Amino acid sequence: MIINFFKHLHKINTHRFKVFVLCCKCGIPFRGLMHDLSKYSPIEFFEGVKYYTNGKHSPIIDCKKQNGYSKAWLHHKGRNKHHSEYWLDLAAPTKAPIIPFKYSVEMICDKIAASKTYNGKKYTNMSAYYYWNKNRDNEIMNRKIQGFITEVLELLGAYGEKKVLNKKYLLDIYNKHVKRKGN
Ligand SMILES: [Zn+2]
């Protein structure tokens, strides 16, 4: 228990640092600082310790398997705007609205950081794109934002972080998708 406490704490810190570095490259350092802070709250933190999984996958998955839901996740998604689930409202006219630029970019940084962690030495610039392509249909998200993320991760695979992860470049792609007609 006490070992998992420190392991889980370390996992959160390492993930937050990776996201912070990526957010700085993208010109949104403040989002990087704020990223996943709610993971230190007792409701999220102690569930993570209880279902600690050696970093192979998220403890939230194991908690959901056992209990049908995860209080940590419900708490997390309600407070963190970089999750598409934060913006979902099934009773609203637009169930999945357009997510503002900075949170969409923070979301991309989160996905890249997770890819780096889970792939370890096998990580390449394409890793995040492969993972996203396999799993994007599990995420209910505004189509324009989905298009934005897909294009950014594709370009990252082709050209690498130096070219793709900068604010002006990302903003151009974002605007192109958001201003597209239709939903
Ligand atoms: Zn998060």
CA of 71 to the centre of ligand 1 (A): 14
Which of 24, 54, 87 lies at the terminal end of a domain, its last residue? 87
Q: What 3-state DSSP class applies to 81?
A: coil
Nearest C-alpha neighbor of 113 from the set 22, 52, 33: 22
The model's pTM is 0.94
Residue 96 within any structural domain of the chain:
no
State the first-to-last Cα distance of the chain, in angstroms, to the nearest integer.
48
Torsion angle (degrees, nearest 10) of CA 16, 19, 21, 22: 180
Same-domain check for residues 55 and 115: no
Same-domain check for residues 64 and 133: no
pLDDT of the residue at 180: 87
CA of 128 to the centre of ligand 1 (A): 16
pLDDT of the residue at 30: 98
Whether the per-residue pLDDT at 45 is higher than 90: the answer is: yes
Same-domain check for residues 111 and 80: no
Which of 32, 64, 87 lies at the terminal end of a domain, its last residue? 87
CA of 105 to the centre of ligand 1 (A): 13
Residue ranges making up the domain that contains 32: 2-87
Same-domain check for residues 74 and 40: yes
Whether the per-residue pLDDT at 55 is higher than 70: the answer is: no
What is the average pLDDT value for the chain, to the nearest integer? Answer: 95
Same-domain check for residues 115 and 143: yes
Which of 87, 116, 150 lies at the terminal end of a domain, its last residue? 87
- pLDDT one-digit tens code per residue, 80-121: 999 999 999 999 999 999 999 999 999 999 999 999 988 999
Instruction: Write the CB contacts of 43 (distance below 8 Å, at least 6 apart in sequence).
Output: 71, 72, 75
pLDDT confidence band for 41 (50 / 70 / 90):
very high
Same-domain check for residues 75 and 14: yes
Dist CA 64 CA 28 (whole Å): 32
CA of 100 to the centre of ligand 1 (A): 16
CA of 135 to the centre of ligand 1 (A): 17
Whether the per-residue pLDDT at 183 is higher than 80: the answer is: no
Mean pLDDT of 59-74: 95
Percent of the chain's residues with pLDDT above 90: 89
CA of 43 to the centre of ligand 1 (A): 14
CA of 173 to the centre of ligand 1 (A): 23
Same-domain check for residues 77 and 142: no
Residue 18 within any structural domain of the chain:
yes
Number of domains into which the chain is organized: 2
